[in-house]
A and B are shown apart, each in its own frame.
With several copies, the nearest count.
Chain A
Amino acid sequence: MRLYEFESKQLFENFKIPVSKRFIAKTSDEVYGFVENMAGSVVLKSQVLTGGRGKAGGIKFADGANEARTKARELLQMKINGYAVNSVLIELKLTVKKEYYVGVTLDRANYKIVIIASGEGGVDIEKTAVDHPEKIFKKSLSIKENLYSFDALLLAKKIGIPQPLLKESAYIIINLFELFKNYDAKLVEINPLVLTNDDKLIAADSRVSLDDDAVFRHVDLKEMGIETRHEEGEMTPRERQAYEWGIPYLDLDGDIGMFPGGAGFGIMGNDFIHYFGGKPANFMDSGGGPAPERIAKMLVLLDENPNVKAIFGARFGGISRCDDFAKGVIMFLKEHGLSKPMVMRMTGNMWQEGVRMFEEAKKENPELFEHIEFHGIETPIEEIAKRAVELAKEERGQ
């Protein structure tokens, strides 16, 4: 999960990485209030969890409170990569003499932590890595190692930090590394690290991405108001609902409700639907070994989503058992009812038991099953996907 700039700058401050004094505002009037008391030009930065903010016009400069209010209003009405701007960060405008890049990230291929530095800051580091690999300097460390000041200082020297600032910049790099280690980060970046005209180093922009699976160790984040979220963009209301129910779920822009078992086939099934000419309305995964209640809730999410025209169900019981799955589906059918056509396939662990349960329930309440086409291991999953695409097409009346 990615942090907002204002959140990651708070972490920077906690780790003694120099940042500007700043304010966060949710309305243009708040912006006016802050800027009124600031001497000098200010920069207004839209807070969004996506890249390319600068190019998209999400950063504006202003002289004085009035201009700031006007520009903030513009920002707060913008969408960047489709994501609404809900807040604006206000800082004094820096006088830039030079920009550097410093980052710490995972080198997953080699199972290392790598510190990356470049004399070319403020630009896309991945682009620099491709176009000018000679301008990028790295230091790889095993997870058990510390970053020593002499190594940090050598990096600082290589990227051309002026000599009087070498020691200070080495500590900035070390502190960034400490932040990375302390918060189980996947990526922390200062881009750019600005050298101002009066020879101060300041982290002008910041990026922090944390390992979702380690957030439980960092209770202070919650105290800071930092909640689990996507790497890019905030959760939609339905995603938030699913998250609270413990269901990995994403809204997509199609009309086929995806009700698969397993994240892997959740991803692949999404492709299959596209291959066969359809578009999924969502991604979903049941999580490992779901209880019947969770299965039922998965169907609620789909059935109540007005975009969904037909449902593609697939269950290959592994750690998740077909009997629990069947129990969940039946629970949903009885308590909620299915209003959309569904085609599904079920096999895997305890499939016989699952089939038996479906048959019994159907004998009891055949009307609950009228929208369901049921298949077992004998039908390739591709056929099921094709049928779901057909059903959605029919439903759309095409």
Chain B
Amino acid sequence: MAILCDKNSKVMVQGITGGAGKFHTERMLAYGTNIVGGTSPGKGGQTVSGKPVFDTVVECVEATQADVSVIFLPARFVKEAAIEAIRAGIKFIVAIPEHIPIHDMLYVREEAVKAKATVIGGNTAGVMTPGEANLGIMPDIAFAPGRVGTVSRSGSITYYVADTLTRTGFGESTCVGLGGDPVLGSTFDEILWKFEEDEKTKAVVMCGEIGGVYEECATETIRKMKTPVLAMIGGIYAPPGKRMGHAGAIVEGKMGTAKEKLDILAAAGAHPCRTFLDIPETLKKLGV
């Protein structure tokens, strides 16, 4: 069991013939991910790592029954790529690129909700179900199959958390990169609830950061969850009004301070952690 993807997922790559697309397709395949093909308009008929390339997602789905897509394209093309995948019937889409315009993501979200599809990202390292599927750009070394789910707005934080969980023997069920952009395809609460419904996941580490409202929106779900939630928030010492790398990581006015986010989550029953080393200690205390 896992959430979002496993060894049976039939994964396609949009932008498979590009530099990053090619490189990470190779890596994902090497991990054992069931990559079935990809798209690159005007390059249908080619192959990448032995997998067929199509001009459109519709054609790829028809030929390969792909049910998951990972997007490796310049940010300005993500809107159309994601909508193309959704309309072709793909139900899970990972949008890797960063700097996707906000208004574009509003369109994507609207299509996704209508089609009951899940979009992750943009600006995500992807989704990893250790030992089964690696969708995106996450480094294998950090991960091992296990019982803790993670969901984070940051790739690097995902790695450090997984690294910590792996080193301390908990391992991970699935690790979800929510993405660093200001408007995201999915929200913390949606992913948390998937973990709640996953038998294999005994606890979830949720890592937020300054900016936006997605952490705040998760409180109701955390209250309802039986699975314990550990929470880290980056940016306690961040200066206001300055974008910290991630387009979404910016304190605007009174919105999105780390302190407030952490307080709200703790009030909802999440277990706050300051550093990665707090995580295994908290898990031990919770008897996970």
Assess A/B contact in the complex (Cβ within 8 A): yes
Measured CB to CB, the residues of A under 8 A from B are 2, 49-51, 106, 108-109, 111-113, 126, 142-144, 148-150, 153-154, 157, 163-164, 166-167, 170, 181, 184, 186-187, 209, 211-214, 216-217, 230-233, 248, 250, 252, 260-268, 270-272, 274-275, 283-285, 287-289, 316-319, 347-349, 351, 377, 380-382
Interface residues on B, range: 35 or more
Does residue B103 face the partner (Cβ distance < 8 Å to A)? yes
Cross-chain contact B156 with A262 (CB below 8 angstroms)? yes
- Interface residues in B196-211 by Cβ distance below 8 A to A read 207, 209-210
Q: Is the interface of B mostly helix, strand, loop or mixed?
A: loop
Q: Which 10 A-B pairs have the closest CB atoms?
A: A264-B154, A232-B241, A263-B245, A262-B156, A285-B245, A214-B101, A143-B106, A265-B156, A268-B234, A348-B139
Cross-chain contact B239 with A377 (CB below 8 angstroms)? no
Cross-chain contact B137 with A318 (CB below 8 angstroms)? yes
Most buried by A among B75, B138, B235, B244: B244
Cross-chain contact A231 with B103 (CB below 8 angstroms)? no
Cross-chain contact B102 with A267 (CB below 8 angstroms)? no
Q: Could you say which of B3-11, B40-48, B221-229, B263-271 contacts chain A?
A: B40-48
Cross-chain contact B45 with A163 (CB below 8 angstroms)? yes
Residue of A nearest to B105 (CB): A111
Q: State A5–B236 Cα separation when bound (angstroms).
A: 30
Cross-chain contact B237 with A262 (CB below 8 angstroms)? no
Query: Which of chain A's residues have a CB closer than 8 A to the CB of B58?
Result: 150, 154
Cross-chain contact B57 with A214 (CB below 8 angstroms)? no
Query: Which of chain A's residues have a CB closer than 8 A to the CB of B238?
Result: 267, 270, 283
Q: With A150-B56, A211-B103, A283-B245 in contact, do A264 and B156 touch (Cβ < 8 Å)?
A: yes
Query: Which of chain B's residues have a CB closer than 8 A to the CB of A217?
Result: 76, 101
Does residue B80 face the partner (Cβ distance < 8 Å to A)? yes
Cross-chain contact B42 with A351 (CB below 8 angstroms)? no
Query: Which of chain B's residues have a CB closer than 8 A to the CB of A154?
Result: 56, 58
Distance in angstroms from B57 CB to nearest chain A CB is 7
Does residue B116 face the partner (Cβ distance < 8 Å to A)? no
Measured CB to CB, the residues of B under 8 A from A are 20, 24, 27, 41-45, 55-58, 75-76, 80, 83-84, 87, 96, 98-104, 106-107, 109-110, 113, 125, 137-142, 152-160, 163-164, 167, 180-183, 187, 207, 209-210, 212-214, 216-217, 232, 234-247, 249-250, 252-254, 258, 274-277
Can you pick out 12 interface pairs between chain A and chain B where the beta carbons lie within 8 Å of each other?
A109-B213, A111-B110, A150-B56, A181-B103, A184-B101, A214-B103, A250-B244, A262-B159, A264-B152, A264-B155, A265-B156, A265-B160
Residue of B nearest to A253 (CB): B239
Q: With A230-B242, A318-B156 in contact, do A264 and B209 touch (Cβ < 8 Å)?
A: yes
Residue of A nearest to B209 (CB): A267
Cross-chain contact B103 with A184 (CB below 8 angstroms)? yes
Contact of B234 among A126, A181, A233, A267 (CB under 8 A): A267
Query: Which of chain A's residues have a CB closer than 8 A to the CB of B137?
Result: 318-319, 349
Distance in angstroms from A299 CB to nearest chain B CB is 17
Cross-chain contact B154 with A267 (CB below 8 angstroms)? yes
Distance in angstroms from B109 CB to nearest chain A CB is 5
Residue of B nearest to A249 (CB): B245
Cross-chain contact B243 with A264 (CB below 8 angstroms)? no
Contact of A106 among B183, B243, B247 (CB under 8 A): B183
Cross-chain contact A230 with B241 (CB below 8 angstroms)? yes
Cross-chain contact B250 with A231 (CB below 8 angstroms)? yes
Q: With A264-B154, A267-B209, A316-B160 in contact, do A288 and B110 touch (Cβ < 8 Å)?
A: no
Cross-chain contact B141 with A348 (CB below 8 angstroms)? yes
Contact of B141 among A144, A283, A347 (CB under 8 A): A347
Distance in angstroms from B262 CB to nearest chain A CB is 11
Residue of B nearest to A275 (CB): B274
Q: State A109–B216 Cα separation when bound (angstroms).
A: 9
